[in-house]
Amino acid sequence: MASKTPKDDEQGDEPVINDKRKIDPETGDVREPAADDLPDEGESLSDEDLEILDSAERDLVAEYRDRAARAEAELKNFRTRVERDRAANREVVIAEVLRNLLPAIDDLDRAETHGDLVEGSPLAIVAAKLRGGFEKYGLVKIGEKGEVFDPKLHEAIVQVYSKDVTVNTVADVIEPGYALGERLLRAAKVAVSVPEP
């Protein structure tokens, strides 16, 4: 049986508590670090440890650079997508407004055909301003007499056999169509001359 030393009697079975707080709770003063908390002056890292730290640092820097480059690319793609969607939405809104105004344009065309738009008259001035505004947004009239029939742009209302044509041709425009850039707002309603069988 081992004999007890005076040191063992001092400690007994009570736990030992080391207060490592940096500020003294009673006085509020900053405590000096304990001697066993400081690294030994002669102790330094080995070359192998320094290499590991240097390698880990390079890997970490490379990883953060890669993350930053990816985040920058994602942001650029997001901005491009937002601008593209914004432009597409703008075109859709303009197309819808112009589509709703096409009956007014048709009425102006009919008034001009019947001679109601006398040059200098108030209605002629309004018609010129409206047409100028529509052209500003890129509204283009579709359907001219004599052009080749295109089912993507024309809606055939009437077919007439003719020996004067070799391909389907627009014989008459019943109602003009309109396009806004590449977007067809309304197909032209036309009479078509088709080659005789």
Q: How far apart are CA 189 and CA 158, in angstroms?
A: 9
Most confident of 7-16, 114-123, 125-134: 125-134
Read off the CATH number of the domain in which 164 is found.
2.30.22.10
Per-residue pLDDT, averaged over 109-130, amounts to 85
pLDDT of residue 42: 54
Per-residue pLDDT, averaged over 161-172, amounts to 89
pLDDT of residue 118: 82
Q: How far apart are CA 33 and CA 22, in angstroms?
A: 7
Residue 132 in domain = no
pLDDT of residue 176: 92
| Domains held by the chain: number | 1
Per-residue pLDDT, averaged over 169-191, amounts to 91
Residue 71 in domain = no
Q: E strands, 120-182, where?
A: 139-142, 154-162, 169-175, 177-180
Work out whether strand 169-175 and strand 154-162 pair parallel, antiparallel, or are unpaired. unpaired
Q: What is the pLDDT of residues 43-80, one digit of tens each?
A: 677 777 777 877 888 888 889 999 999 999 999 999 99
pLDDT of residue 3: 52
The string of DSSP codes covering 79-95 is HHHHHHHHHHHHHHHHH
pLDDT at 10 over 70: no
E strand or H helix at 110: helix 47-113
Q: Name which residue leads in pLDDT, 12 or 94.
A: 94
In the 8-state DSSP scheme, what is residue 14?
A: S
Residue 63 in domain = no
Domain span holding position 169: 141-197
Residue 148 in domain = yes
Residue 6 in domain = no
Residue 156 in domain = yes
In Å, how far from its chain's centre is CA 47? 52
Quickly count: other Cβ atoms within 10 Å of residue 37's Cβ.
8
Q: What is the pLDDT of residues 18-42, one digit of tens each?
A: 777 878 888 878 777 665 655 555 5
130-135, long-range: CB within 8 Å, 24+ apart, which pairs?
Answer: 130/101, 130/104, 130/105, 131/105, 134/98, 134/101, 134/105
Categorize the per-residue pLDDT at 178 as very low, low, confident or very high, splitting at 50, 70 and 90. Answer: very high
Residue 50 in domain = no
Residue 186 in domain = yes
Categorize the per-residue pLDDT at 11 as very low, low, confident or very high, splitting at 50, 70 and 90. Answer: low
Name the burial class of residue 149, with classes exposed (0-12), middle (13-18) and buried (19+) by CB atoms within 10 angstroms of its CB: buried
Q: What is the pLDDT of residues 73-117, one digit of tens each?
A: 999 999 999 999 999 898 899 899 999 999 988 888 888 888 888
